[in-house]
Chains A and B, each alone.
Chain A
């Protein structure tokens, strides 16, 4: 990392964290629209100052650590998810020259970082020493580990087509055709696995407020709770960025500058994920697991084999 990159790192951090903060408000407004109501619309223009009000509230909350909790792990756990999510942004290519590092294993780095987030949830659940939190943590661990499998596999089709693990190369390889057409199965699996991975609705089984009060963050409040939420929203943005990069040609697009295209596409997917939240109810836990192993895994494998065969055939011809 060179010195010159420092402002750029700052810009990315600011955009992502600021974006995640604004997203809390934006999500509520969008959900409101789709549920025929308004959402927070009082504070400031369109209610955007709600973000500031929420921040103020969360910052001034009593920072309580339950006496029965494992103090050290309890405090450390929420930071892990934020750090790992923000780390993953290092490899996201926002534009042809706007990326921090072009790793030749960038895709694997992203997968690794998004898997590390499971520690946060699991340790948080474990350290809370509360049965709901523990159940939430268990669910998170099982869900994320199993969806991890085909999240990675679903992307191998993309890797085969582009012949590279580097995200910049993958985008460049989409010059003549974005991958969501040949890789529609991969896209489908990746979206579902991604939601499960970032445990957002409809796959927020680790939280499942109807069954587990608040799941893994039952005992968390104030800033530590904010960290979990920040991590979750960063995860959402990251997921949208990755879908844009891997399947929808990243920064590629006519007329507008690359950065604008990237932002537009990412924004579209963020909206799409909020729409999913508004539309789809949460499945039962065993249904979620069954869906993963009996449907998603076969689809991924079929996709993998078919893509491999076609790639081989194309190379020979």
Chain B
């Protein structure tokens, strides 16, 4: 009983001491919080070092996305490269989990340290490809999927990618 009373008094005293501690609040619109470079905010689609869009429309991000907010349509260009005909992220559903970034084999989809995406109209939260695509490489500067993959496209035959051996003709028995 006495113990409880003393503990209450001690609580009151400890709280009173908080009059002299600084507030933790970040006064947001005037004072911006620090956002680490890998903060997971608004999503962008990046380009490879040659300026071509990186996304190969593999749909892996759409599969990985927990709330299913990515929609895209695959298309093929004349040079054999795949690209998304449309790429749509519904940011009113996105939970900024970063799963899409982890799933992406081409480093195309990346999250950026920007969270200020308020809109008065919910429809405006749906970002199309022209809103998502940026003119840069994002966090990975040298990576170009078509340069390292074995896929054949115009101007790059089988075996011509980085670190790739000449293809072996498996149908011939000759050494």
- Residues of A in contact with B (beta carbons under 8 Å apart): 32-38, 275-276, 278-280, 295
B16 at the interface (CB under 8 A from A): yes
Contact B24 A37 (CB under 8 A): yes
Contacts of B6 in A (CB 8 A): none
Per-residue CB contact flags for chain B residues 84-117 toward chain A (1 = under 8 Å, else 0) read 0000000000000000000000000000000000
Contacts of A275 in B (CB 8 A): 12, 15-16
Contacts of B11 in A (CB 8 A): 279-280
Contacts of A295 in B (CB 8 A): 1
Per-residue CB contact flags for chain B residues 1-18 toward chain A (1 = under 8 Å, else 0) read 100000010011011101
Contact A36 B23 (CB under 8 A): yes
Taking a contact as CB atoms closer than 8 A, the residue among A33, A36, A279 that contacts B12 in the complex is A279
Q: How many residues on chain B are close to A (CB under 8 Å)?
A: 15
CA distance A45 to B60 in the complex (A): 53
Q: Which 10 A-B pairs have the closest CB atoms?
A: A279-B15, A279-B12, A37-B25, A34-B18, A279-B11, A36-B24, A38-B25, A37-B23, A34-B15, A278-B15
B77 to chain A, nearest CB (A): 53
Taking a contact as CB atoms closer than 8 A, the residue among A33, A38, A280 that contacts B19 in the complex is A33
Excluding A36-B23, A279-B14, 9 further A-B contacts by CB distance (< 8 Å) are A33-B18, A34-B16, A34-B19, A35-B18, A275-B16, A279-B16, A280-B8, A280-B11, A295-B1
Contacts of A276 in B (CB 8 A): 12
Residue of B nearest to A272 (CB): B12
Interface of A, helix, strand, loop or mixed by DSSP: helix
Contact B18 A36 (CB under 8 A): yes
Residue of A nearest to B21 (CB): A36
A67 to chain B, nearest CB (A): 33
Per-residue CB contact flags for chain B residues 48-86 toward chain A (1 = under 8 Å, else 0) read 000000000000000000000000000000000000000
Contacts of B1 in A (CB 8 A): 295
B38 at the interface (CB under 8 A from A): no
Contact B16 A32 (CB under 8 A): no
CA distance A136 to B24 in the complex (A): 35
CA distance A276 to B16 in the complex (A): 10
A207 to chain B, nearest CB (A): 21
Contacts of A37 in B (CB 8 A): 23-25
